[in-house]
Amino acid sequence: MKTIEVPIQSEFMLPPLHQAARQRDVKKVRSLLAEGADINELNTREANGEGGNPPLWFAAQGLPAGGVAIAQLLIESGADANTKGEFGMTPLHIACSWGHPDMVIFLHQNGADLDIKDDYGRTPVSLARADYEEAKAAPNHTQPIGCTLWLEGMAEINRYFDSLIVH
């Protein structure tokens, strides 16, 4: 893989490929990949443990629209679906915590490990289940529309995980 010279500063001090993934900019991601951007590069890790995340991690977080398209480009270019970022979380951990069922399914179907643990001993499945149960128990979880959509996403993720269990 060739090294390319690109400016390393962007919004939130992210490398260009990370920023393009975060912004769901398919054209920019394609361009950066064609120029030889490192698909598994980790952004700067902060003293508090934040950072150290691959571009695929950014495709898995935030609003769901466009995330799978970015993830597909990265995976097709050789991104490792199990690369750990901050707090030992993989892109699958992130997709589970953000309530993105399409991303969860895509990552799992493309090699993401359901049993990999983060720095706190949580697997993506246990994280999704705990977050979902905690949210259901919250007294006002259905008030904001974002919470309702997140809860629906979490329910779908848990149904998907349930479908993988052999009875």
Rounded Cα distance, 63 and 66, in Å = 8
- Average pLDDT, integer, range 23-47: 92
Rounded Cα distance, 78 and 7, in Å = 23
Residue 105 pLDDT? 93
Q: Domains in the chain and their CATH numbers?
A: 11-164 (1.25.40.20)
The pLDDT tens digits for 92-150 are 999 998 888 999 999 999 999 999 999 999 999 998 888 778 777 765 655 444 566 77
Structure tokens at 95: 């997709």
Is residue 23 very low, low, confident or very high in pLDDT (cuts 50, 70, 90)?
very high
* DSSP for 61-95, written as a single string: SS-STTHHHHHHHHHHTT--TT---GGG--HHHHH
* DSSP for 20-32, written as a single string: HHHTT-HHHHHHH
Residue 131 pLDDT? 77
